[in-house]
Amino acid sequence: MDHVDEGKWYILNTLTQYEKRVRDAIQRQIALDDPAIPVFEVQYPLEKTVEKRNGKTRAVERKFFPGYVFVRMKLYKDDGEKDENLWLFINGIKGVSRIGGEMSPEEVAQWISIPGAEEVAPMPAARPQFNVGDQVEIVDGPFSGFKAVVQEIDLERGFLRVEIQVFNRATPMELEFCQVEKFVE
């Protein structure tokens, strides 16, 4: 059944970290297509992006609106009375703290189906200014201030393999591009 123009958008306040659970419970109800519970669409805007931590690249989700879920539902019947079945269903979902207000058309246009939400933002291409054999200075980490020679460049991971002199011994190490600068005498 097509419910494209039915209902209005409302804001649900949720407990922190419960946004996905609330969204999933509403999505299960939508899949049932039960006319006794007139809920039609749910949005929990996320931005999927890539972040680098401790030398590892991983996909992460960032919430646009922590503590909020948007729901298109028919909270009031045609006679203006609150739909008790829907009210009880929404308030009975673990993690929902309250049904907030109805969203204005401007808010709906701005916040529902946020462009880029649910898509992975590409990691910016690393364009190092380094070449094998270049001398660099370490600017971050325990070896900050040490000079090193670039041995290898790993564009995909954003790392340099360098060699530094520690106690008069050549010591190889791996550093992120942001941890070194080209050494200029």
Residues 177 and 150: their CA atoms lie apart, in Å, by: 11
What does the pLDDT look like over 17-36, one tens digit per residue? 899 999 999 999 999 988 89
H and E: helices and strands count for the chain? 3, 11
Mean pLDDT of 79-83: 93
> Mind giving me the DSSP string for 124-141?
PPP-----TT-EEEE-SS
* Residue 97 pLDDT level (bands cut at 50, 70, 90): very high
Place of tokens 């297509």: 33
H runs (alpha helix) in 44-177? 84-91, 105-111
What does the pLDDT look like over 122-168, one tens digit per residue? 444 444 577 899 999 888 877 888 899 999 988 777 788 999 987 77
Catalogue all structural domains in the chain, each as residue range(s) with its CATH number.
Answer: 8-111 (3.30.70.940), 135-182 (2.30.30.30)
DSSP, res 123: P
Mean pLDDT of 54-58: 70
- Position 129 scores a pLDDT of 74
Segment holding 65, helix H or strand E: none
State phi, psi for 57 to the nearest 5 degrees.
-95, 135
Residues 23 and 13: their CA atoms lie apart, in Å, by: 12
Nearest alpha carbon to residue 126 among 100, 160, 150: 160
Residues 134 and 162: their CA atoms lie apart, in Å, by: 10
pLDDT at 70 > cutoff 90 = yes
Could you give the angle at the alpha carbon of 122 between the alpha carbons of 120 and 125, nearest 5°?
A: 165
